[in-house]
Amino acid sequence: MRRNRIITAFRDRPISEKVIILTMVTTIAALLLAGVGIVMVDSLLFRAGLKRDLAALARIVADNSTAALSFDDPEVAAQPLRALHFRTHLDAACIYRGGTLFAKYLRRDQFACPAPEQRESIRSAGGNLMLSQPILLDGRRIGTLTMLYNLGEIGERVKLYGTTVLIVLLAASIVAFLLSSSLRSVIVTPIERLVRATAAVSETGDYSIRAQKLSSDELGLLVDRFNEMLARIHARDEDLKKALAGREAALREIEKERARFHFMAESMPQKIFTARPNGEVDYFNGQWMEFTGLTFDQIKNWGWTQFVHPEDLEGNLRAWRHSIETGEPFHFEHRFRRADGKFRWHLSRAQAMHDANGAITMWIGSNTDIHEQKEKEVELQRANEDLEQFAYSASHDLQEPIRNVAVYSELVARRYRKVLDAEGQQFLGFLREGGRRLATLVDDLLAYTRASMAELIETPVNASAVLQTSLSNLAEAIRESNAQITYDPLPEVYMGEAHLQQVFQNLIGNALKYRNQEPPQIHISAVVRGSFWCFSVRDNGIGIDPQYREKIFGVFKRLDHDHKYSGTGIGLAICQRVVERYGGRIWVESELGQGATFYFCIPRHGQPVHAAEVQSSASGG
């Protein structure tokens, strides 16, 4: 734990101090190890040399003591022993003869002679060296020399050498400190400047700052790479600043557009809303809060469903979610509850905004109050139903009197032809022709009212099979006109078979009737447009002036009153009535003398579709 704290403290020191500390620790450790090694080796060598010196000295003293022992003269024997006083650490030297002390030398009285041993030896004992040297004469042992040597000399030598090592170590440390302090700048200065450059970049965010290169070694390479990194970051930073500036400008422009949109939305009498791509409404203009009496927080996201009429809510949500999933425009007529609790009809429309990749970014919609229009439509529908019922009843009731006129005019023609003069014959002809035309008009009026009143049948029917039936019914007219009729494969549609046959038969019949000098060429096809099947009947006939494109669908409207074109002009009105009852639309595109193409669109799945959607799909593609 302590070691970890020391390492942590060292790691947190400035690098300049680390360099000095490492240099000093390394130098001191090296010198200390060297000094300790020198002292230890010297001690070992000195001890070995001391043993050799004492052994040699003992042999010399022993050789000089043989005469004294031979003549039994202790005084003479003591003389060489006393000569040993110059060895200051020799505490005792004694000569034994036959185990009895013969002569001795004691540096101090407290010292005692060591006991002799049987053989030559030198050994350590209690901080002393004890030596035993036999005294020989002619190879015969006549005595024994013993010595006691104090090893304190080795300690004094160690102290001397240790002091010398410490002095050298201190001097070397001072020199190392001075040298490391003066040379550390070679390593530390490039690192410190690199650190200052890094800190300046971090504090100012200015990536144009560069670190100064002072050498070509690894630190110089590090500075080069650091400067290269800063250059790349600086380039990217400049690009990012430009991109951010562009984005901020775009955001400011978007905010301006948003503010402008909100100003326009708040200024409009209509109810305006916007929604996220997932359909959650994130903006209602003030007209909504005024109309509902609720706050924005109460009706945002999906809160608006609370004021939709319960009978309209399911269809409303189904249509809105369909638009969200497909991106198709939203069109729906429904009732909204006003602040006073009354419901009013509204026409709601919404369009999706897309980004450059085609993804939906938001929805913008409006809600228009059509309550009065709806009420008028209901009144008009009721009046039309009454009118249709009256027309049906009247035309049905007129059939009998018209039939009587025709029958009796024929009887008059057969019975009284010879009685009538030329003028009477002419009047009778007018009467018969008028009756025939009146009967045709009544029959066509009945057909029109039946088309308006017949029950809608929305089961799938094969349009190709219905077309074949229509062509069979028109076979005689086709043969007489030498017409060439072609058609593409046609789909199944949700429509009554008799109604579809009525439309095909009237449109093809008109193409056969209003032909020019060339044989008629008629082509029938169908394509998908949004949620509709759009059929086309194209011919090469006399064509229609564009200004009459709408007029020709009126009841009993004919543009050409030449007697060579028979009919009352109600066929196209019947087609329009049938198609519109199935939620579709019919129109013509033509130029005078260029032929004509009649189009009619029917919902693909038999669902009632609003007129705005019919118009959008019919005009698209």
With both helix axes pointing from N to C terminus, report the angle between 571-581 and 497-513 in degrees, rounded to the nearest 10.
Answer: 150
Q: How far is Cα 80 from Cα 550, in angstroms, rounded to an integer? A: 161
Residue of 208, 212, 214 lying closest to 230 (CA atoms) = 208
The alpha-helical segments, DSSP class H, found in 492-581 are 497-513, 571-581
Evaluate whether 15-159 and 457-619 have a shared fold. no
Q: Which amino acid is at 581?
A: R
Polymer length in residues for the chain: 621
pLDDT given for residue 229 in this prediction: 84
The alpha-helical segments, DSSP class H, found in 123-217 are 152-204
CATH number of 275-369: 3.30.450.20
Q: How far is Cα 333 from Cα 374, in angstroms, rounded to an integer? A: 10
Q: How many helices (H) and strands (E) in the chain?
A: 16, 17
Place of tokens 């060591």: 114
For the segment 570-586, what is each residue's pLDDT rounded down to a tens digit? Answer: 778 888 888 888 889 99
Q: How far is Cα 192 from Cα 183, in angstroms, rounded to an integer? A: 14
Q: Which amino acid is at 8?
A: T
Given CA atoms 302, 308, 309, 312 in this order, what sign does their dihedral have?
Answer: negative
List average pLDDT for each run of 10 residues in the chain, which is 621 residues long.
66 69 79 83 83 87 86 85 84 88 86 86 85 87 89 81 84 78 70 77 79 74 80 83 83 74 69 92 89 90 92 93 93 92 92 90 90 80 59 54 65 70 70 62 54 63 92 90 93 88 89 88 92 92 83 62 53 84 88 90 65 42 38
- Measured in degrees and rounded to the nearest 5, phi and psi for residue 179 equal -65, -45
Beta-bridge mates of residue 538: 523, 597
Tokens of 333: 């007529």
Q: How far is Cα 235 from Cα 34, in angstroms, rounded to an integer? A: 57
Tokens of 222: 């590090």
Burial classification of residue 266, based on how many CB atoms lie within 10 Å of its CB (0-12 exposed, 13-18 middle, 19 or more buried):
exposed
Place of tokens 């308006």: 452
CATH number of 15-159: 3.30.450.20
Residues 6+ apart with CB under 8 A from 172: 27, 28, 31
Radius of gyration (C-alpha) of the chain in whole angstroms: 65
Three-class DSSP category at 105:
strand
Place of tokens 């003549």: 71
Residues 6+ apart with CB under 8 A from 187: 19, 219
Instruction: Classify domain 371-453 at the CATH class level.
Output: mainly alpha
Asked if residues 17 and 23 have their Cβ atoms less than 8 Å apart, the reply is: no
User: What is this structure's pTM?
Assistant: 0.38
Count of CB atoms situated within 10 Å of the CB of 81 = 22
Three-class DSSP category at 328:
coil
Break the chain into its structural domains and give their ranges. 15-159, 275-369, 371-453, 457-619
Q: How far is Cα 96 from Cα 68, in angstroms, rounded to an integer? A: 12
Residues 6+ apart with CB under 8 A from 263: none
State how beta strands 585-590 and 521-529 pair. Answer: unpaired
Q: How far is Cα 150 from Cα 130, in angstroms, rounded to an integer? A: 9
Count of CB atoms situated within 10 Å of the CB of 276 = 15
Tokens of 252: 């400011």
- Give the CATH fold of the 457-619 domain: Heat Shock Protein 90 (3.30.565)
Q: How far is Cα 585 from Cα 567, in angstroms, rounded to an integer? A: 23
What is 391-427 written as a DSSP string?
HHHHHHHHHHHHHHHHHHHHHHHHHSTTTS-HHHHHH
Each residue of 205-224: b (16+ CB within 10 Å) or e?
A: eebebebebbeeeebeeebe
Three-class DSSP category at 109:
coil
Three-class DSSP category at 247:
helix
Tokens of 165: 């090592």
Given CA atoms 7, 12, 13, 16 in this order, what sign does their dihedral have?
Answer: positive
Count of CB atoms situated within 10 Å of the CB of 104 = 19
What is 434-462 written as a DSSP string?
HHHHHHHHHHHHHHHHHHHHSPP--SEEE
- Measured in degrees and rounded to the nearest 5, phi and psi for residue 364 equal -120, 130
Q: How far is Cα 529 from Cα 276, in angstroms, rounded to an integer? A: 27
Residues 6+ apart with CB under 8 A from 402: 435, 438, 439, 442
